Chain A
Amino acid sequence: MKATIGLLAALALLAPGQVRAHGDDDPRLGKVMLDQLEWREGTGSGDGALVWEGDAWLGHDLHKLWLKTEGERVEGVTEDAEVQLLYSRALAPFWDIQVGWRGDLQPTPNRNWLALGVRGLAPYWFDTDLALFADADGRTALRLKAEYELLFTQRLILSPDIEINLHGQDDRATATGSGLSDVELGLRLRYEIRREFAPYIGVVGWRKFGNSADFARRQGERSDDLELVAGVRLWF
């Protein structure tokens, strides 16, 4: 009940003019976070890959501009690259609603999506990002990301994470199958030399399902792998 009231009150606060964001208690700030910048070595294939995932925001307590990016380079060639530019507004104490554009720059052909998501902290401390995507040609996609942190010490932190992608339709040009497309599980152990700088090692397992797996196999690529990773997490 309280959650409902909270939600309604939060929606009311979204009305223009209710939330002013000037003054010393709410300065304009920016943050750049490179959550993963890592080298991946697959157990099945010979090629290593450079993988990144990060975001940045600029704005005030309750509304911000967000940039998200992730991608992968193999042997000097960018095989996957995605950028999102989003307007982010606080919806509830732990949740922001995010609306904007997602561009898949690689693989080609490019796909441009309208993005609508919620990100925040779920009960029991799960960092969560759930987003729905739709493009002009009627394609749809759903992505869920969640991350957790386990502290061995104040600086040695084990972080399991999961990413699940679903698609509404087959997209043969990008080798994407409908339904459950892929799932990736990661486990990274980082050491925070400073809060802002933490090298890590870990293991990542991923698997494609259904048509996505078939497309991959037909192109002579793997449909699953287990990879060792090493990288750094940094922000400022």
Chain B
Amino acid sequence: MNPLLPDNGIRLSRRRFVTGLAAGGAALAAGRLLAAPAEAVSTPELTGERFALRIGYQRVNFTGVERLATTINGSLPGPVLHWREGDRLRLRVTNQLAEDTSLHWHGIVLPAAMDGVPGMSFHGIKPGESFDYAFEVRQSGTYWYHSHSGFQEQTGHYGALVIHPRAPDPFACERDHVVMLSDWSDEDPAQVHAKLKKLSHYYNFGERTVGDLWCDIQAKGVAQTWRERAMWNRMRMSDSDISDVSGYTYTYLMNGQPPAVGWTGLFRPGERVRLRFINAAAMTYFDVRIPGLKMRVIAADGQPVEPVTVDDFRIGVAETYDVIVEPAGDTAYALFAQAIDRSGYALGTLTPDLGLKAALPTMDPRPVLSHADMGMGGGEHPGHAGAGAADAAADGGMDHSSMDHSTTNNATLDHAAMGHGAPAMGSGAAGYGSSTPVRHGATEYGPQVDARAEPSGYRLDDPGVGLRDHQSRYGRRVLTYADLRHRYGTPDPREPEREIQLHLTGNMARYMWSLDGIRFADAEPLLLRLGERLRITLVNDTMMHHPIHLHGMWSDLETGDGARIPRKHTVSVPPGARVSYLVTADAPGNWAYHCHLLYHMAGMMREVRVAAGDA
């Protein structure tokens, strides 16, 4: 457990060996058995009001190859920090790296100077120096923390936050586990980024082949196959482009354990188990299920939602979901988090007994994008009823509603926001989304933008690519944004005073990412007036999901119920889709606002400035 390695000139604070291989895992498991049969938690946990965190290098081995990770207090993920609502915290973060670092408290409402974004909230933490974070905790729930410097997050610089409420927790369970999902690569993240710039489909080993073409022709005929593929081919877009970075280089981790080992969460028979899922991946969306168990979702991004029971949920990068499960006392269950492109999975076991094994679930078929995912909504035919046309058609690349049938797509696109609330309220009112048409500004035209979507409405009730047939095929209910309702009612019931429409733009082939066609380095800050309530509408002009994170303030997601607008800190916008949320600009200062996919972030970012006076 302690193979000391030659000093390579970098100050290594600790050289404990984090083992991910089966052999090491077996040893760990054996150790657990001997030491504490009731506990199988591997991530350290810290509690209190004062914390000392050291950012350092650490030798790790997840794949059979030794690599240097960036870790917090020598563990990957970093320790779970248990905070208490109302406490005034002091956190000293010491940089033992050879480069600058930082720590950002993701989803935490705090003063701008404590937000931990170099260049916006502070100057970063220089090698050998410390920074003292001090703030009062004004919320509770499940959150996380991570580096906001360079690509450090990819190499292990992240950890979970559990904030315990002051009042008794209505969802207190006898058993409570953090389930942190992440993606590990043996490659240097800068190399990953460079490869994507040189060959954007470098990591995509799920492209359409001649065999797929032959199957399509046999099933649908030449003419239909041609119609389905013509638009993709004309646009030079790939319907197999699901994730930029795949299991070709990634090993997917659950609480720092690769699938070969698997994380183990214990429970006692009869206990209800609260699982706090956190997606700390750099680039990977996960589709999570626990075969044999229904999951009752009680919180999204740390904030309480009206409980909804599901079989599957998709978790975007940086999102968190809290679920409660009620396992039978004599069964082991697989916690299965398959990557959205099905190139791999993170795996764990929920079990009352370390001797029990759960069957390994099979991955679902690799999804293919449909024309709906291209945002081919049209816009002349709003208000068609009837959901699911594109959903059913879209699955497995069988989308028949090509551009000459755009009304078919509209049915799905338009229906979402209206489908669950009071339709009479109409769009434009708080909670129901925007009534402003999608417009593309002049800056969206140029070599930096390869596509512009025309979504005519919302599709929040769309389970999303690869999940659309789970209900019909397996009877598995999939969580959608349309299911999210604030448990205690809309926190700020004001109507928005104005609206900002922002387009998520990029050029996949050149691997360039921007907002409204303008990358962060060239962009002016977004100005918000202190105290104002505004609507932000995001239009995803690209072919991939983007999880958009606003620092310092909540994103009140408009899911079709003005009385119960849920709060999020990270809003995932599916390909070709439109999403609206309301923001109360109650946090003065400079804040980061960006796509949380690590290799998109530097371009697809804005600084948000909140100040008194005219915005």
A residues with CB within 8 A of B? 2, 5-6, 8-10, 12-13, 20, 22-27, 29, 31, 61-62, 90-95, 121, 123-125, 150-154, 158, 195, 235
The residues in B between 198 and 246 inclusive whose CB is less than 8 angstroms from any CB of A are: 198-199, 202, 205-211, 233-236
Q: Return chain B residues, CB-CB under 8 Å to A23.
A: 519-521, 602
Given A20-B521, A151-B208, A153-B209: A91 and B447 within 8 A (CB)?
A: yes
Q: Are A151 and B210 in contact (CB under 8 A)?
A: yes
Q: Are A62 and B448 in contact (CB under 8 A)?
A: yes
- Whether a CB of chain A sits under 8 angstroms from the CB of B95 is no
Given A23-B521, A152-B210: A123 and B233 within 8 A (CB)?
A: yes
Contact with A along B289-331 (1 / 0, CB 8 A): 0000000000000000000000000000000000000000000
Determine the distance from Cα of A121 to Cα of B507 in the docked complex, in whole angstroms.
13
Given A25-B603, A26-B512: A10 and B447 within 8 A (CB)?
A: yes
Closest Cβ of chain A to B79, distance in Å, is 28
Q: Return chain B residues, CB-CB under 8 Å to A6.
A: 445-446
Q: Are A93 and B447 in contact (CB under 8 A)?
A: yes
Q: Return chain B residues, CB-CB under 8 Å to A25.
A: 512-513, 519-521, 602-603
Q: Are B446 and A13 in contact (CB under 8 A)?
A: yes
Closest Cβ of chain B to A82, distance in Å, is 24
28 chain-A/chain-B pairs, Cβ below 8 angstroms: A5-B445, A6-B445, A9-B442, A9-B445, A10-B445, A10-B447, A22-B521, A23-B519, A25-B520, A25-B521, A25-B603, A26-B521, A29-B198, A31-B198, A61-B197, A61-B448, A61-B512, A62-B510, A90-B448, A90-B510, A93-B446, A93-B448, A93-B449, A95-B447, A123-B233, A123-B234, A123-B236, A151-B210
Q: Return chain A residues, CB-CB under 8 Å to B23.
A: none
Determine the distance from Cα of A22 to Cα of B511 in the docked complex, in whole angstroms.
15
Q: Are B207 and A154 in contact (CB under 8 A)?
A: yes
Closest chain A residue, CB of each to CB of B450:
A93
Closest Cβ of chain B to A21, distance in Å, is 9
Of B150, B197, B442, B446, the residue contacting A29 (CB under 8 A) is B197
Q: Return chain A residues, CB-CB under 8 Å to B522.
A: 20
Determine the distance from Cα of A132 to Cα of B372 in the docked complex, in whole angstroms.
41
Number of A-B contacts (CB under 8 A): 98
Q: Are A195 and B202 in contact (CB under 8 A)?
A: yes
The residues in B between 364 and 410 inclusive whose CB is less than 8 angstroms from any CB of A are: none
Closest chain A residue, CB of each to CB of B602:
A25
Given A9-B442, A121-B236: A92 and B447 within 8 A (CB)?
A: yes
Q: Return chain A residues, CB-CB under 8 Å to B207.
A: 151, 154
Given A25-B521, A154-B205: A94 and B445 within 8 A (CB)?
A: no
- Whether a CB of chain A sits under 8 angstroms from the CB of B113 is no
B residues with CB within 8 A of A? 150, 190, 193-195, 197-199, 202, 205-211, 233-236, 442, 445-450, 507, 509-513, 519-522, 602-603
Q: Are B450 and A94 in contact (CB under 8 A)?
A: yes
Q: Return chain A residues, CB-CB under 8 Å to B194.
A: 27, 29
Closest chain A residue, CB of each to CB of B238:
A125
Q: Are B509 and A121 in contact (CB under 8 A)?
A: yes
Determine the distance from Cα of A67 to Cα of B303 in the docked complex, in whole angstroms.
55
Q: Return chain A residues, CB-CB under 8 Å to B193.
A: 27
Q: Return chain A residues, CB-CB under 8 Å to B511.
A: 61
Q: Return chain A residues, CB-CB under 8 Å to B521.
A: 20, 22-23, 25-26
Closest Cβ of chain A to B4, distance in Å, is 33
Known: A6-B445, A154-B205; 17 extra A-B contacts, CB below 8 A, are: A9-B445, A10-B446, A23-B602, A25-B513, A25-B519, A26-B512, A26-B519, A61-B197, A62-B448, A90-B448, A92-B446, A93-B447, A94-B236, A95-B447, A151-B207, A154-B207, A195-B199
Closest chain B residue, CB of each to CB of A152:
B210
Determine the distance from Cα of A22 to Cα of B520 in the docked complex, in whole angstroms.
11
Q: Are B210 and A150 in contact (CB under 8 A)?
A: yes
Determine the distance from Cα of A13 to Cα of B211 in the docked complex, in whole angstroms.
42
Q: Return chain A residues, CB-CB under 8 Å to B198.
A: 29, 31, 235
Closest chain A residue, CB of each to CB of B205:
A154
Closest chain A residue, CB of each to CB of B600:
A25
Closest Cβ of chain B to A19, distance in Å, is 8
Closest chain A residue, CB of each to CB of B202:
A195
Determine the distance from Cα of A92 to Cα of B448 in the docked complex, in whole angstroms.
8
Q: Are A152 and B447 in contact (CB under 8 A)?
A: no
Q: Return chain B residues, CB-CB under 8 Å to A62.
A: 447-448, 510
Q: Return chain B residues, CB-CB under 8 Å to A10.
A: 445-447
Of B150, B205, B233, B447, the residue contacting A125 (CB under 8 A) is B233
Determine the distance from Cα of A37 to Cα of B292 in the docked complex, in whole angstroms.
55
Q: Return chain A residues, CB-CB under 8 Å to B202.
A: 195
Determine the distance from Cα of A8 to Cα of B198 in the docked complex, in whole angstroms.
27
Top 8 A-B pairs, shortest CB-CB distance: A25-B602, A90-B447, A25-B603, A9-B445, A24-B602, A93-B450, A23-B521, A151-B209
Q: Return chain B residues, CB-CB under 8 Å to A94.
A: 236, 450, 509
Residue among A8, A95, A124 having the largest count of chain B Cβ atoms under 10 Å: A124
Of B208, B510, B520, the residue contacting A61 (CB under 8 A) is B510
Determine the distance from Cα of A150 to Cα of B210 in the docked complex, in whole angstroms.
7
Closest Cβ of chain A to B510, distance in Å, is 6
Q: Return chain B residues, CB-CB under 8 Å to A5.
A: 445
Closest Cβ of chain B to A119, distance in Å, is 13
Determine the distance from Cα of A9 to Cα of B449 in the docked complex, in whole angstroms.
11
Closest chain A residue, CB of each to CB of B440:
A2
Q: Return chain A residues, CB-CB under 8 Å to B512.
A: 25-26, 61
Closest chain A residue, CB of each to CB of B151:
A24
Q: Are B233 and A124 in contact (CB under 8 A)?
A: yes
Determine the distance from Cα of A154 to Cα of B522 in the docked complex, in whole angstroms.
38
Closest chain B residue, CB of each to CB of A93:
B450
Q: Return chain A residues, CB-CB under 8 Å to B509.
A: 93-94, 121
Closest Cβ of chain B to A62, distance in Å, is 6
Closest Cβ of chain B to A235, distance in Å, is 8
Closest Cβ of chain A to B443, distance in Å, is 8
Q: Are B236 and A152 in contact (CB under 8 A)?
A: no
Q: Return chain B residues, CB-CB under 8 Å to A9.
A: 442, 445-446
Determine the distance from Cα of A93 to Cα of B512 in the docked complex, in whole angstroms.
10
Determine the distance from Cα of A209 to Cα of B226 in the docked complex, in whole angstroms.
36
Closest Cβ of chain A to B117, distance in Å, is 14
Determine the distance from Cα of A121 to Cα of B232 in the docked complex, in whole angstroms.
13
Closest chain B residue, CB of each to CB of A90:
B447
Determine the distance from Cα of A125 to Cα of B229 in the docked complex, in whole angstroms.
12
Determine the distance from Cα of A121 to Cα of B235 in the docked complex, in whole angstroms.
10
Residue among B195, B233, B236, B602 having the largest count of chain A Cβ atoms under 10 Å: B236
Closest Cβ of chain A to B375, distance in Å, is 14
Closest Cβ of chain B to A58, distance in Å, is 12
Closest Cβ of chain B to A156, distance in Å, is 9
Closest Cβ of chain A to B282, distance in Å, is 14
Determine the distance from Cα of A199 to Cα of B135 in the docked complex, in whole angstroms.
59
Determine the distance from Cα of A36 to Cα of B198 in the docked complex, in whole angstroms.
18
Determine the distance from Cα of A121 to Cα of B210 in the docked complex, in whole angstroms.
20
Q: Are B446 and A154 in contact (CB under 8 A)?
A: no
